[in-house]
Each structure stands twice: as C-alpha cells, then as structure tokens.
Amino acid sequence: MARKFEGLIMAIKLKTLSKIYANPKDKVCALLNATLTFTDHSFNIVVGKSGCGKTTLLRLLSGLEAPSSGTIEFSGAIPKIGFVFQEPRLMPWLTVSENIAFSAKTLCSSQPKIHLPESSSLLTTLGLTKFANAYPSQLSGGMAQRVALGRTLFQNPDIILMDEPFSALDYFTRHGLQETLLTLFQQERKTIIFVTHDVEEAITLGERILIMQNGKVTKDVSVTIPYSRDLSSALVINLRKQILAGIE
C-alpha cells in the first residue's frame, strides 16, 4: 500500500516490504522485509542474479503488484512514476512521434497525427528526428528502446523505474544508450531506479548500488566516483570486486 509521509529529502521509503507468491505446493518469497529509502534526484541501481527479486521490487514500487506485507511511502504528493520495460512495447500502428506522445490526451481517432513541441524536443534529444514518421517495424532494437524511453520521459515523471532496459542490445548500442541516459539524468535530475544484472552497467550508471540475493537487499554501496567513469581505473576495479563479492 502506497501512502504519503512528511519530508523534504527522502522521495520513497520502504518499510519491511515483502512479496510472497503462493501456489498449491509451495510459497516463493520474491522480496523479504526490504527497508530502504530512495532520495530525490538520485540514480539508484539494483543489481543481482536472475530471480533475486529485482523486478519484483520495481513492480511493487510502480503499483503493478501489491505487497504481501509492509508499506511504501512517498514524501509530499504521490509522485508520477514512469516505467521503462526490458522490451520497448511500442504500438506497431503508430509512428515514432506518436508512440512517444502516446500518453497525450490529444491522441484519439479524430487526430491521428501528433506534432507536439515536447515530442519534437525528445526526438532531438534521443537522436530520432529522422525517424519521427517511421513505424516500429522499421527500427533497430536500440532505436525502439530510445522511443520507449522517450515515451516515458514525455510523461514528465518524478520517478523513473527501468527494468533491464538495455540487456537485449549489443555492446555498442547499449553503451550509447547508457551515455544518453546519464546525460538526461544530469540535465533533468529525475529519481531513477534501474535494475540490471550487468555489474559494469551498474558501475557506469549508479550513484548508489543495491545488491540483492534471494529476495533480500544484502548490500548498499555508495558510489562517489565522478562521471564519466574509467572502467579500467583502480577505483572502479575495487568497486567491481566489492559488488561481485556481494553477489556471490
């Protein structure tokens, strides 16, 4: 259950949050007693092996799942939350520009084409201007994921949840999108909670890295290395060792 709490610094507070899936033969504890805070304007990474509870945490934060126990509290007004999934999930009958502006109230059968200033600005930011009138079937995987990110940003959310959004992409496309996301974060200062199983991606992006194992947050690492990070530096190598030790 989500509710508000009074405060100016903390954006989200989780108190003993748990999610248990029951079936006739067994119970699966996907998340167990998570007690965390996420501050405003922070870039948080949740890293761990498949099945450790990362996606469950995001689904609870987004309201797509209800907790079995515990609470989720927000400071001030309940924030607007955007979700970027692992797959782009674009509407195949809409153009790139229309997919980005899909949440707009002006998208209706009587106005099939949308040319909103916010959409045009995002097309430029995400390097999609030349593809504004293209359809999803005409896009590469990286372009499609840029459109999905643009659709979320178009809503101007306070908090962005990202569930392994770059995992299916090749190294070069993934690296480019990581750079784009970092630039957007530094410009917009949205609160981001980003799930990945890629340790290098976690180190490249995060100001804070939460390590999960078996439904529990086992380690909370603050990253003070400035952007852009040299993955071959001694500081990063030591950080990588610390994270891998926490996952294993």
pLDDT score of 203: 96
Residue type, 26: D
Q: Residue 56, CB half-sphere, CA atoms under 13 Å: how many?
A: 26
Q: Which amino acid is at 198?
A: D
What average pLDDT score do residues 187-212 get? Answer: 95
Neighbours of 189 (CB within 10 A): 12
Query: Do the beta carbons of residue 141 and residue 87 sit within 8 Å?
Result: no
Residue 37 has pLDDT above 90, yes or no: yes
Instruction: Work out the pLDDT band at 22, boundaries 50, 70, 90.
Output: confident
Model's pTM, two decimal places?
Answer: 0.89
Residue 10: the pLDDT is 52
Higher-scoring residue by pLDDT: 192, 28: 192
Poorest-confidence range of 83-87, 101-105, 147-151, 227-231? 101-105
Least confident of 11-20, 102-111, 118-127, 179-188: 102-111
The model's confidence at residue 106, banded by pLDDT at 50, 70 and 90, is very low
pLDDT score of 230: 93
* pLDDT value for 104: 65
pLDDT for the residue numbered 192: 96
pLDDT band of residue 118 (cuts 50, 70, 90) is: low
CA dihedral 215, 219, 223, 227 (to 10 degrees): -30
Pairwise CA distance, residues 145 & 140, whole Å: 9
What tokens were used for 27? 């119970």
Residue with the larger pLDDT of the pair 27 and 31: 31
Distance from C-alpha of 89 to C-alpha of 238, rounded to nearest angstrom: 37
Predicted pLDDT at 107: 45
Predicted confidence at residue 121, as pLDDT, reads 82
Q: How confident is the model at residue 76 (pLDDT cuts 50, 70, 90)?
A: confident
Percent of residues, the chain, with pLDDT higher than 90: 69
Average pLDDT over the chain, rounded to an integer: 88
